[in-house]
Amino acid sequence: MKVSILGGGAVGITYAALLVNNGFEAMVYSESSSAHAGNTIVEGAVEFHGSIPYTRSIETAVKHADVLLCARCAGGVQSLIEEILPYIAPHQTLIFSAELSLSSSYADMRLQSLGKRVPIISWSTTVATAQRLSANHVISGTLRSRIDYSVTSPHPANDSKALLESLFGPRFHPLPNALAVALSNLNPAIHLANSLANLTRIEKGERWDNYAGITPAVGRVIEALDGERMALAERFGFQVRDVFEHYLQTFPGLAPGSVSEMAARVSEKGPTALGPRSIDTRYLTEDIPYGLVPLVCLGEQAGVAMPLHNAGIRLACAYTGRDFFSENTMLPAIEGYWQK
């Protein structure tokens, strides 16, 4: 089976390494693929030393594959969807890793406008965590034990589960639809709380441990944000995992506790991911407009108050001098999608 990973970041490279290790033919699409010439090294949860094919041609990447795995940063997903539309074919499957801003709904809407349908699979989060040391050197932190997913597809869902497990193993749990998956993505709220509490470290470019930064005070904010998300999911009739389950599934073998206690245990085991070192971090510039603003919009539609989400977003807007509420142009485009 041929898989094209659309996005050459640390997670995309880790996916390619994992797939090649599992006997699949993987190609990475990256607009800066010339930077990846030579051998690729992935260390940690995934071990790989070798060559991975790269291409700067989206046409080549799409036509190469049976499966298209979108691993691009959230701000680039809408343009990526537009780029693949002319080339995508009915036999292919499109996977979003992970579902942010209901991007799978936007893709399905655009495909239908062209008279096309393909199976679209949404993940609640990434299979792997990873950080890049250099263009060709990636450290993979962990492989998550559970990924929630949904299918927008004319094909039976069990076919999609079989496909996912053949690629990445038995870690996938089905949810009713992409809305349920979007409500299962906990990373944006965790990143918001940790970033705002450690913002001076980030702005000064200091070197700091991401999980050690989740002190008891930060952990309480994360838990409170999670309570708002859980209330929103309940209003829509979905049962989704909470932040405590998220930690236990991300770090198999971790002893239960409060968020700060579990984060401290992760940090003590080491080595863990470093925290952001620039105020332009994706924890703010991607996770807020594409992960949190959609939840606030859903809350307004459903009559669920989300004061802490609103306050956090507005603080981040003030700190960065940006209007995160207006940066996500996919939301207006899919406004009527879930009302059909």
pTM: predicted TM-score of the whole model, two decimal places: 0.86
Q: Does the structural domain 187-339 have CATH classification 2.60.40.10? A: no
* pLDDT given at position 33: 57
Per the prediction, the chain carries an average pLDDT of 92
DSSP alpha helices (H): ranges in 146-239? 157-168, 178-182, 187-197, 199-204, 216-235
Q: What is the pLDDT of residue 339?
A: 56
Buried b (16+ CB within 10 A) or exposed e, 258-276: bbbebbbbbbeeeebbebb
Could you give the CA distance from residue 233 to residue 298 in angstroms, rounded to a whole number? Answer: 10
pLDDT at 78 over 90: yes
Q: Is the pLDDT score of 65 beyond 70?
A: yes
How far apart are alpha carbons 282 and 316 in whole angstroms? Answer: 12
What is d(CA 206, CA 201) in angstroms, rounded to the nearest whole number?
5
Taking the CB of residue 145, how many other CB atoms lie within 10 A of it? 14
Taking 70 as the threshold, does the pLDDT of residue 27 lie above it? Answer: yes
- Write down the pLDDT at residue 332: 87
Residue 76: both structure tokens together: 């680039």
How many angstroms from the chain centroid is the CA of residue 109? 21
Cβ neighbors of 314 (< 8 A, separation 6 or more) are none
pLDDT of residue 250: 87
Percentage of the chain exceeding pLDDT 90: 80
pLDDT at 35: 53
**Of 184, 115, 85, 192, nearest to 144 (Cα)?**
184
What the block records as the tokens of 315 is 């603080």
Q: Give tens-digit pLDDT for 134-173.
A: 888 999 988 998 899 999 876 666 689 999 999 999 999 9
Given pLDDT bands bounded at 50, 70 and 90, which one contains residue 291?
A: very high
The amino acid that residue 183 corresponds to is L
- Looking at the chain, the domain(s) classified CATH 3.40.50.720 span 2-182
- 269 or 58, which is more confident: 58
Taking alpha carbons only, the member of 101, 105, 55, 62 closest to residue 83 is: 62
Tally of CB atoms within 10 A around 231: 14
Question: Which pLDDT score is estimated for 141?
Answer: 87
- Residue 134 has a pLDDT of 87
Give the pLDDT confidence score for residue 156 in this predicted structure: 63
**131 - beta bridge partners?**
139
* pLDDT score at 136: 87
pLDDT digits over 190-234, tens only?
999 999 999 999 999 999 999 999 999 999 999 999 999 999 999
Distance in angstroms (rounded) separating the CA atoms of residues 194 and 218: 6
In this structure, the chain runs to a length of: 340
CA angle 241, 256, 100 (to 5 degrees): 30
Could you give phi then psi for residue 142, rounded to 5 degrees? -155, 160
Kindly state the percentage of the chain with pLDDT values over 70. Answer: 96
User: Residue 73 has what pLDDT?
Assistant: 87
Is the domain covering 2-182 a CATH 3.40.50.720 domain?
Answer: yes
pLDDT in tens, 29-55: 998 755 565 689 999 999 999 999 999
Region for residue 13 given its phi and psi (left: phi exceeds 0; alpha: psi -120 to 50; beta: otherwise): alpha
Those residues whose C-beta lies under 8 Å from the C-beta of residue 100, and which sit 6 or more positions away, are 74, 77, 182, 185, 188, 286, 287, 290, 291, 294
What is the predicted pLDDT for the residue at 319?
96
